[in-house]
Amino acid sequence: MLSALLSRSVTAQERVKYVSPLDGASYDKCQEVFKLYAIIETGGKQLKVEVGQSIFVEKLDAEPESIVVIDKVVLVSDAATKIGTPYVEGAKVTCKVVKQGKEKKIHIFKYKAKKGSTRRKQGHRQPYTKLTVEAIEA
């Protein structure tokens, strides 16, 4: 069937029909497709995380190879979704600290036109913490 699709031009409806993983699947098979994920809040930002994923967050006070528990979980979802107001009670995400580091340097250059002595060059490297998500508990 795939060779027939490749040999001729295909309409958008036909393309969706053969690409969709849920095409013709029963409800039980649809349950297997959902992955456990959570939306956490750290460093003033919200991130969608899954188990095994590596994420970069604002610098945390933790040593490399230590365990960090994030309890500010906004949403947890697998087959059913739990939405917090503002956070889901009892939910937590356990992460392992991989490393502490700094991002690439950005250069800031300020000057005022037609003023010969008003020039300022400055650099900044934002510190970060790299985490690996170990577990999500709802």
CA dist 62 and 94 (Å) reads 13
Residue 8 lies in a domain: no
In this predicted structure, what is the pLDDT of residue 69? 96
What's the chain's Rg over C-alpha atoms? 23
Q: Residue 34: what pLDDT?
A: 72
In a domain, residue 4? The reply is: no
How far, CA to CA in Å, does 28 sit from each of 33, 36, 79? 9, 16, 11
18 domain residue, yes or no: no
Asked if residue 104 lies in contact with residue 88, where contact means CB atoms within 8 angstroms, the answer is: no
Which pLDDT does position 57 carry in this prediction? 96
Per-residue pLDDT of the chain (138 residues; tens, 9 = 90+): 444 444 455 444 444 444 445 555 554 455 456 789 999 999 999 999 999 999 999 999 999 999 999 999 999 998 789 999 999 999 999 999 999 999 999 999 999 988 888 899 999 999 999 999 999 998
Residue 28 within any structural domain of the chain: no
Q: In what order do the strands lie in the sheet with 54-58?
A: 54-58, 127-137, 92-102, 67-70
Give the pLDDT score at 58.
96
Residue with tokens 């053969």: 18
In a domain, 24, yes or no: no
The span from the CA of 31 to the CA of 25, in Å, is 10
In a domain, 123, yes or no: yes
Q: What is the pTM of this model?
A: 0.68
**49 domain-assigned:** yes
For the chain, the domain total comes to 1
Establish if 10 belongs to a structural domain: no
- In the chain, the amino acid numbered 101 is G
**Contact criterion met (CB below 8 Å) for 95 and 64:** no
Say if residues 50 and 66 touch (Cβ distance below 8 Å): no
The boundaries of the domain holding residue 48 are 37-137
